[in-house]
Amino acid sequence: MKFKHILIISFAILVISFWNRNELPDKKDMDPQLAVEPIQQMIQLPEFSVNVDGNDYFIQPKYDYELYGMVVSYRVHNSDTGAHLRWGDHLNVADYCVVWSENAFEAHLNEMTFRNQEWTCYYQYPDREVGSSFNKEKLSNNHLITGDSSIRDRIKKIGIGDQIRIKGWLSSYHSTDRLSRGTSITRSDTGNGACETIYVNEIDIIRIHNSNWRILMYVSLLIFLATLVKYFYSPFKLNE
């Protein structure tokens, strides 16, 4: 097979696999712990402070909180751009939009679209049948905050389709400047203020999701790049 044919085929596979790279796991691959509802209990803890990137933040824990869920969308924040820069928010590491319970085991998730913007998770479904399989109260967008550098690094390694456990405190927080943010304390609210702000004490990936599409994407990219290099370094074969 000529180089140019391999280039074309590998590039076509790369495009298709890239488009489908975020296909979610099958229901049979769900960990049974995802059936558990989030565990929430009121606590009495004093406000405490952490310093991130030279900025002081004051956290007020409100509820002890533990969540098992599957990531359907996320955004790791860059505090040097956008709203996080304007608000001076270096504490909010990322937003992770997760589902659990019947949404993880019964909803037609791969027929839906999920996406995260700064502080917001959106979802869409193509028709009423898919929409009726989805329970909006079994989805939450979680603002993950922490002053622990190792936990911050661990948060950034989580991807779409990963099944995770988060344990921490539903909290409000503020800075010495204009920043002040609260938290939702129920899964039934919507709109502005409906996201959970979690000060993360523990975070684990229960099951990493390496979809076949994602593997195919990396393999086709490797073949495409290797063939491209060989193509340009083998000029005597250009006229085959």
Over residues 61-97, the pLDDT tens digits come to: 999 999 999 999 999 988 767 667 777 789 999 999 9
Mean pLDDT score of the chain: 89
Q: Which two tokens stand for residue 128?
A: 């009423």
**Mean pLDDT to the nearest integer, 217-233:** 79
Torsions phi, psi for 133 (to 5 deg)? -85, -5
pLDDT score of 238: 44
CA separation for the pair 80, 66 (Å, rounded): 30
Judge whether residue 235 has pLDDT over 70: no
Residue 44, C-beta contacts closer than 8 angstroms, at least 6 positions apart: none
**Mean pLDDT to the nearest integer, 51-55:** 90
CB 101 within 8 A of CB 37: yes
Judge whether residue 116 has pLDDT over 50: yes
Question: Which contacts of 7-13 are long-range, i.e. CB under 8 A and separated by 24 or more positions?
Answer: 7/224, 7/227, 7/228, 7/231, 10/220, 10/223, 10/224, 10/227, 11/220, 11/224, 13/216, 13/220
pLDDT score of 1: 59
Instruction: Tell me the range of 105-109, 190-194, 223-227 where mean pLDDT is highest.
Output: 105-109
Strand-strand pairing, 196-207 and 139-145:
parallel
CA separation for the pair 71, 165 (Å, rounded): 10
pLDDT score of 208: 92
Judge whether residue 237 has pLDDT over 60: no
43-57, 66-80, 224-238: which range is least confident on average?
224-238
Closest C-alpha among 180, 187, 182, 72 to residue 136: 187
123-182 pLDDT tens trace = 999 999 999 999 999 999 999 999 999 999 999 999 999 999 999 999 999 998 778 999
CA separation for the pair 138, 188 (Å, rounded): 9
**Mean pLDDT to the nearest integer, 6-34:** 85
CB 12 within 8 A of CB 4: no
37-51, 59-73, 111-125, 212-226: which range is least confident on average?
212-226
Judge whether residue 37 has pLDDT over 70: yes
